[in-house]
Amino acid sequence: VEGALADGPLTGKHVLVTSGPTHEPIDPVRYIANRSSGAQGTAIAKALLALGARVTFVTGPAEVPPPQGVDLVAVQTAREMLEAVQAARDVDAGVFAAAVADWRVASASEQKIKKDSSELPVLEFAENPDILATVCASDDRPALVVGFAAETENVIAHATAKRARKGCDWILANDVSPATGIMGGSENAVTLITAQGAEDWPRMGKDEVAARLAQKIAEALG
């Protein structure tokens, strides 16, 4: 039945998942964004639901439709995503799979920028809030916080440093350099980095990555 939660090891637990890209407006018809289909975040939400969790799903404009049965919050920008994440209460675990734009256009134009002037437009950027780091530093930090690190080189070193810098418990690191064919595909090859070290997972479907992560979260939350 739609809306009914499954029974499983995460019954009674509330997990927050961020997913998809954020869109940062340049003007009313243009934006900057990261590449993200939302496939991995959506698969994680489904896997958590299947284990009985209540899932708050905060998503930017993704290609993949959101799963049925989540508490859905659709946002556009990083700042809206932060607000939605901070509005979630009594979260046991957070999984931050969104590809958040690191910068926004400092003063987006209220009107469409026209190309009729002789000058090329120059965009000035401002840094977006780091949602994951903000949550990790907050008073009501979830018991378990999982981040992602999409890297194109020195994957493990960058991801290990990122885990420490952001203060999250686990990081799922992946190599998204074009040669891997990971971006936009249905498979993922990740390394789980925890305080105990790094665990390489074989390349597998995004659904299988999600199922394995959900299982680990269930074990960790007990």
Binding residue ranges: 102, 112, 129-132, 148, 162, 166
- Determine the Cα–Cα distance for residues 92 and 99; give it in Å rounded to an integer: 22
Helix (H, G, I), strand (E, B) or coil at 30: strand
Q: Which residues are annotated as a binding site for CTP?
A: 102, 112, 129-132, 148, 162, 166
Element (H, E) at 104: strand 103-105
Nearest CA among 48, 46, 74, 49 for reference residue 60: 74
CB-nearer residue toward ligand CTP: 49 or 77? 77
Among 15, 16, 51, 78, binds ligand CTP (CB under 6 A): 78
Q: Does 151 interact with Ca ion (rule: CB under 5 A)?
A: no
For the chain, how big is the Rg over CA atoms in Å? 18
Q: Does 105 interact with ligand CTP (rule: CB under 6 A)?
A: no
Q: How far is the CB of 207 from ligand CTP (least distance, A)?
A: 19
Q: Does 102 interact with Ca ion (rule: CB under 5 A)?
A: yes
Q: How far is the CB of 149 from ligand CTP (least distance, A)?
A: 5
Concerning whether 188 is annotated as a catalytic residue, the answer is no
User: Is residue 41 classed exposed, middle or buried when 0-12, 13-18 and 19+ CB atoms within 10 A define those classes?
Assistant: buried
Q: Rule CB under 6 A: which of 154-213 touch ligand CTP?
A: 162
Token duo for residue 120: 């090329």
CB-nearer residue toward ligand CTP: 149 or 218? 149
CB 206 within 8 A of CB 186: yes
Helix (H, G, I), strand (E, B) or coil at 183: coil
Q: How far is the CB of 183 from Ca ion (least distance, A)?
A: 14
Of the listed pieces 66-74, 104-112, 125-133, 191-199, which binds ligand CTP according to CB under 6 A? 125-133
Among 98, 105, 193, 217, binds ligand CTP (CB under 6 A): 98
- Determine the Cα–Cα distance for residues 221 and 215; give it in Å rounded to an integer: 10
Closest residue to bound ligand CTP by CB: 131
What would the DSSP string read from start to end of 106-172? Answer: TT--SSPPPTTSSSPP---EEEPP-HHHHHHTSTT--SEEEEEEEESSSHHHHHHHHHHHHT-SEEE
Catalytic site positions: 34
Interface residues toward Ca ion, by CB under 5 A: 102
Interface residues toward ligand CTP, by CB under 6 A: 18, 78, 96, 98, 100, 102, 128, 130-132, 147-150, 162
